[in-house]
Amino acid sequence: MSKEHILVIEDEEDILALVHYNLSREGFRVSCAQSGEEGLKAARELAPDLIVLDLMLPGMDGLEVCRVLKREGATSQIPLVMLTARGEEHDIVTGLELGADDYVTKPFSPKVLLSRLKAVLRRRERESAPEESEPVRIGEITIHPGRNEVLVDGEPVDLTFTEFRVLQLLAGRPGWVFTRYQIVNAVRGDDYCVTDRAVDVQIVGLRKKLGPAGKYIETVRGVGYRFKDL
């Protein structure tokens, strides 16, 4: 099996060893860095397929590392998964808005981390071969991008254009957490009154109109929303 190269940036040796062991066992090539500066250098030199980045690092912290990685052309496209502590919702939101793909909260089981990393790698692969106008089917929901049409169990659902855009955004990346700001940004220009709070209102409306399928739109407390990865 030809597996991807993963760079892990984490200062805590126990966690680093645990992650290294579990990723290697899955066949991934693993490189490690124990500080932000070292991590940046490794990311530039190794061009890994994915970066696991702890946010709590001595010296240059994880968010700063994320900011630099996402700013530089060579590293900006590398998927990045943050390791965070409980109660760091604010940092999670900032990291996601800087371009991080996902996060795993400590303490985590190796199994959970692995499945999240694999999901990110899978999504990246899927995105590199997009078929924009094809209808998207998720559970009982069918989305026709070209026709701005949504069906639930074959029955058309009457959505506003903004609701449609929000659904299309979330459902386009199942399992992915979007912050309110990211949702506002994605639908901006279509409805001048879209604000953070308006996003919550859109979600409420969307869930209601989707009926039982509305359960797929999940609230991620303190962070934002995501479409359930079915």
State the residues that interact with Ca ion by CB under 5 A. Answer: 11-12, 54, 56
Q: What's the min distance (Å) between Cβ of 25 and Ca ion?
A: 23
**Residue 59 vs 211, nearer CB to Ca ion:** 59
Q: Rounded distance, CA 40 to CA 33, Å?
A: 9
Nearest approach, Cβ of residue 11 and Ca ion (Å): 5
Q: What is each CA distance from 13 to 7, 48, 55, in whole angstroms?
A: 15, 21, 15
Give which of 31, 35, 38, 44 is closest to 73, Cα–Cα. Answer: 44
3-state secondary structure of 105: strand
In this structure, what token pair is assigned to residue 34?
Answer: 């124990």
In the complex with Ca ion, the residue whose CB is nearer, 46 or 56, is 56
Spatial contact of 82 and 95, defined as CB atoms under 8 Å apart: yes
Could you give the 3-state DSSP secondary structure of residue 81?
strand
Q: Measured from the CB atom, is 105 or 142 closer to Ca ion?
A: 105
Secondary structure class of 103 (helix, strand, coil): strand
Minimum Å gap between C-beta 7 and Ca ion is 15
Residue with smaller CB distance to Ca ion, 86 or 147? 86
- Residue nearest Ca ion by beta-carbon distance: 56
Q: For residues 85 and 204, which CB has a smaller minimum distance to Ca ion in the complex?
A: 85
Rounded to a whole number of angstroms, the minimum distance from the CB of residue 67 to Ca ion is 17
Minimum CB separation from Ca ion for residue 104, in Å?
A: 13
Is the Cα dihedral 114, 120, 126, 132 positive or negative? positive
DSSP 8-class letter at 51: E
